[in-house]
A and B are shown apart, each in its own frame.
Chain A
Amino acid sequence: MTEHELKQKSIAYRKTILTIINQCGAGHTGGSLSCVDILNVLYNAVMNVSPANFDDPNRDRYIQSKGHSVEALYTVLADRGFFPTSGLDTLNTYQSHFIGHPTRKIPGIEQNTGALGHGLPLAVGIALSAKLDERPYRVFTLLGDGELTEGSNWEASMTAAHYQLDNLIVIVDRNTLQITGPTEDVVALEPLASKFEAFGYAVRSCDGNDVGELQRTLSDVPFAPGKPSLLVANTVKGKGVSFIENQVGWHHHVPTADELTQALGELDRAQQLLKVG
Chain B
Amino acid sequence: MELGRPNLEEFASTLIDLAQTDRDLLIVTGDSRGSGKLWPFAKAYPQQVVEVGIAEQNLVGIAAGLASTGKRVFAVSPACFLTARGLEQIKNDVAYSDNPVKLVGISAGVSYGALGSTHHSLHDYAVLRAINNLDIVAPADNFETREAIKAAATHPRPIYLRFGKKPMPHLHAPDTTFNIGKALTIQDGNDVTFIAIGEPVGRALAAAQRLEADGVRCRVISMHTLRPFDTETVLHAARNTSALVTVEEHSVYGGLGEACAATLMEHGIQLPFRIVGIPDEYTVTGSQFEIFDHYGINETGLAQTARQLLQVEPA
Residues of A within 8 A of B (CB): 24, 26, 67, 92-101, 103, 112-117, 146-147, 149-151, 178-180, 186-187
User: What 9 pairs across the A-B complex have the smallest Cβ distances?
Assistant: A114-B118, A149-B53, A187-B53, A92-B114, A99-B116, A100-B115, A94-B286, A149-B55, A115-B118
Tell me if B114 and A178 are in contact (CB < 8 A). Answer: no
Q: Which residues of A contact B35 (CB under 8 A)?
A: 179
Q: Which of B58, B115, B290 contacts A114 (CB 8 A)?
A: B115
A178 to B58, CA, bound (A): 18
Residues of B within 8 A of A (CB): 29, 31-35, 51-55, 57-58, 80-81, 84-85, 113-119, 284-287, 290, 294
18 contacts between A and B (CB under 8 A): A26-B115, A92-B113, A93-B285, A93-B286, A94-B285, A94-B290, A96-B114, A99-B116, A100-B115, A101-B115, A103-B116, A117-B85, A146-B53, A146-B54, A149-B55, A178-B31, A179-B34, A180-B33
A112 to B285, CA, bound (A): 15
Tell me if A100 and B116 are in contact (CB < 8 A). Answer: yes
Q: Which of B31, B81, B84, B115 contacts A179 (CB 8 A)?
A: B31
A150 to B114, CA, bound (A): 24
Tell me if A92 and B51 are in contact (CB < 8 A). Answer: no
Tell me if B284 and A95 are in contact (CB < 8 A). Answer: yes
A150 to B51, CA, bound (A): 13
A32 to B306, CA, bound (A): 46
Min CB gap B30→A, angstroms: 8
Q: Which residues of A contact B285 (CB under 8 A)?
A: 92-99
Min CB gap A114→B, angstroms: 3
Min CB gap A150→B, angstroms: 6
Tell me if B284 and A116 are in contact (CB < 8 A). Answer: no
Q: Which residues of A contact B33 (CB under 8 A)?
A: 180
A151 to B62, CA, bound (A): 14
Tell me if B116 and A95 are in contact (CB < 8 A). Answer: no
Min CB gap A173→B, angstroms: 14
A94 to B32, CA, bound (A): 27
Q: Which residues of B contact A94 (CB under 8 A)?
A: 284-287, 290, 294
Q: Which residues of A contact B34 (CB under 8 A)?
A: 179-180
Min CB gap B148→A, angstroms: 26
Tell me if B31 and A180 are in contact (CB < 8 A). Answer: yes
Q: Which residues of B contact A113 (CB under 8 A)?
A: 118
Tell me if B55 and A150 are in contact (CB < 8 A). Answer: yes
Q: Which residues of A contact B115 (CB under 8 A)?
A: 26, 99-101, 114
Tell me if A101 and B51 are in contact (CB < 8 A). Answer: no
Q: Which residues of B contact A24 (CB under 8 A)?
A: 114
Tell me if B31 and A114 are in contact (CB < 8 A). Answer: no
Tell me if B284 and A178 are in contact (CB < 8 A). Answer: no
Tell me if A101 and B116 are in contact (CB < 8 A). Answer: yes
Q: Name the residue of chain B whose CB is nearest to the CB of A91.
A: B114
A-B contacts besides A115-B80, A149-B53, A151-B58, 7 pairs, CB < 8 Å: A26-B115, A94-B290, A100-B116, A117-B54, A186-B53, A187-B51, A187-B55
Q: Which residues of B contact A99 (CB under 8 A)?
A: 114-116, 285
Tell me if A115 and B84 are in contact (CB < 8 A). Answer: yes
Q: Which residues of B contact A112 (CB under 8 A)?
A: 117-118
